[in-house]
Amino acid sequence: MESGNDGTVDVFGVVMDFCDAGNSEEDMLPPPLLSPSSSTNRALRNSVPLAASLALILWSSPVCAGVLSGFPGIESIPGPQLPQVDFLNKFNEENQKKYAELDERFKQSPLLKELLEKSKMNKERNKREIQDKYCLRGAEWGVGVCSTDGMSEAEKEKFISILKQKAGTE
């Protein structure tokens, strides 16, 4: 805040006049808004933040992970060696042997072999059904491997009826 000899005070770049004698209404009016100096100042005030924002966006470098980016973490440090309890180790070994034996017995069971065989047959059957369905659709639409382009109407009808019988839709 600066004070002038003519009765004006400058507060944050705004000049205020405190003389009350001899001021007319024209002296009290603010300066015109479009004066050359004010429009330049306004343009400068608006362009500086815009330029700073564009500089940050266009020339920003990749973000670093931070202070601990090279730190391996607590998971990489081995924990303390815990005391071993003999009866728990023996119990664990017995369970491992028992479970391994049961797994081997299940893998050799006729039930598992039968289920795997059924699954393989179902997979092949389902694959064939899907291929037949899409072949039928392609024949009806005239596209794909089973397209009926170039066939007469009688041949098309016969071919589509054969595909429908094969797909089981007729």
The pLDDT profile of the chain, 170 residues, written as one tens digit per residue, is: 555 555 555 555 555 555 444 555 555 555 555 455 667 777 778 888 888 888 877 776 665 555 556 666 667 777 788 888 899 999 999 999 999 999 999 999 999 999 999 999 999 999 988 988 888 888 888 888 788 888 888 888 888 888 888 877 76
Please spell the DSSP secondary structure of 14-37, one letter per residue: EEEE---SS--HHHHSPPPTT-HH
Q: Is 146 within 8 Å of 135 (Cβ atoms)?
A: yes
Asked, for residue 147, whether it belongs to a domain, the answer is yes
Asked, for residue 128, whether it belongs to a domain, the answer is yes
Asked, for residue 78, whether it belongs to a domain, the answer is no
The DSSP letter of residue 68 is: T
| DSSP run (H or E) holding 88 | helix 86-107
In sequence order, what are the beta bridge partners of 10?
2, 15
Asked, for residue 31, whether it belongs to a domain, the answer is no
* Crossing angle of helices 153-167 and 110-141, rounded to 10°: 160
Instruction: Tell me the residue range of the domain where 143 lies.
Output: 87-167
- The 10 Å CB-count burial string (b at 16+, else e) for 136-153 is bebbeeeeeebebeeeee
Both structure tokens of 16: 């205020």
Asked, for residue 56, whether it belongs to a domain, the answer is no
Asked, for residue 97, whether it belongs to a domain, the answer is yes
pLDDT of residue 76: 72
Give the CA distances from residue 34 to residues 31, 38, 41, 104, in Å, rounded to whole numbers and listed in that order: 9, 6, 11, 93
Asked, for residue 152, whether it belongs to a domain, the answer is yes
pLDDT of residue 44: 76
Q: How would you list the strands of the sheet with 14-17, edge to edge?
A: 2-3, 8-11, 14-17
Asked, for residue 9, whether it belongs to a domain, the answer is no
pLDDT of residue 86: 92
**Number of structural domains, the chain?**
1
pLDDT of residue 151: 83
